[in-house]
Amino acid sequence: MLLNNFLFLFIIGAVIGSFLNVCIYRLPKNLDIIFIRSFCPRCKKKIKWFDNIPLISILILKFKCRFCKKSISIQYFLVELVSAVYLCLTLLFISNLIDLILLSLIFYIFIVIFVIDLKHYIIPDSLNFSLILLGIIKNFFPETSLNLNQDMFQTLIGGAIGYFLIWIIIFLYKKIKKIEAMGLGDAKLLAGFGFLFGLKSVFIILFVASIIGLVYSVPKLIVGKSSLNTAIPFGPFLIISAIVYYLYLSSL
């Protein structure tokens, strides 16, 4: 029975991952994510249903479009695989359906933000506002097994301070250096974490994200692959930091 549940969740997770890939490609381009059929990003040909089976089709096609033979990014396979594995692993620790749905929504939004910011250096408002909305809605649920803040005052003040922390960094850096240090998408993302985890979390998440950013950037500066003016997406560092923060809370 347990094996059947895992297999079912793996398939569902892979299908969700396929939809996440649609969001990753279309949201930055302001394309509809529901009603437009899947198509090859290169040749724009509509993808047949048998070429659109999560995980399987891309392996059969050897990571190439059936029509134009151009390479398909490994991102599509990895997002589907991570989405499927996540859902199976979550079943080991969470049995409550509401908790499972809430945590999964948050994690899947994290995936989309992570990849979009990594590729395009932007975070769509629709994703940040979805996190903020979930951060507010969860306060109206009965007490859950999740390590999410459920105090409305902590939620609101955490969101406000989260936004202000990055906004002030942007403001001061622009005043001193005359350039943008980060985007307001990062400020809204940290606000989303404040809504989800409460006030204390935003300071820890921002600090850990900054450390991760330094670990990523300093070696590239040393070998001359980047400079102090090279733009790097900060959203992925914030998301990694938020996941680390949540896992730490869960281990207590």
Check whether residue 148 and residue 243 sit in a common domain.
Answer: yes
Q: How high is the pLDDT of residue 2?
A: 54
Q: Which tokens belong to 10?
A: 């793996």
Please say which residue of 42, 73, 93 terminates a domain: 93
Whether residue 117 lies inside any domain: the answer is no
Check whether residue 210 and residue 144 sit in a common domain.
Answer: yes
Check whether residue 140 and residue 223 sit in a common domain.
Answer: yes
Check whether residue 130 and residue 242 sit in a common domain.
Answer: yes
Q: Which tokens belong to 110?
A: 């994290």
Check whether residue 138 and residue 246 sit in a common domain.
Answer: yes
Residue in the structure block whose two tokens are 């609101």:
156
Q: How high is the pLDDT of residue 211?
A: 96
Whether residue 79 lies inside any domain: the answer is yes
Whether residue 109 lies inside any domain: the answer is no
Q: Which tokens belong to 99?
A: 């908790």
Whether residue 112 lies inside any domain: the answer is no
Amino acid at 107: F
**Structural domain range at position 151:** 125-252
What is the model's pTM? 0.93
Whether residue 102 lies inside any domain: the answer is no
User: Nearest 5°: CA angle at 185, between 183 and 186?
Assistant: 75
| Tens-level pLDDT at each residue, the chain (252 residues) | 556 778 899 999 999 999 999 999 999 999 999 988 999 888 989 999 899 999 999 999 999 999 999 999 999 999 999 999 999 999 888 888 889 999 999 999 999 999 999 999 999 999 999 999 999 999 988 777 788 988 999 999 999 999 999 999 888 888 887 777 678 999 999 999 999 999 999 999 999 999 999 999 888 888 877 766 777 899 999 999 999 999 998 887
The 10 Å Cβ neighbour count of residue 54 is 24
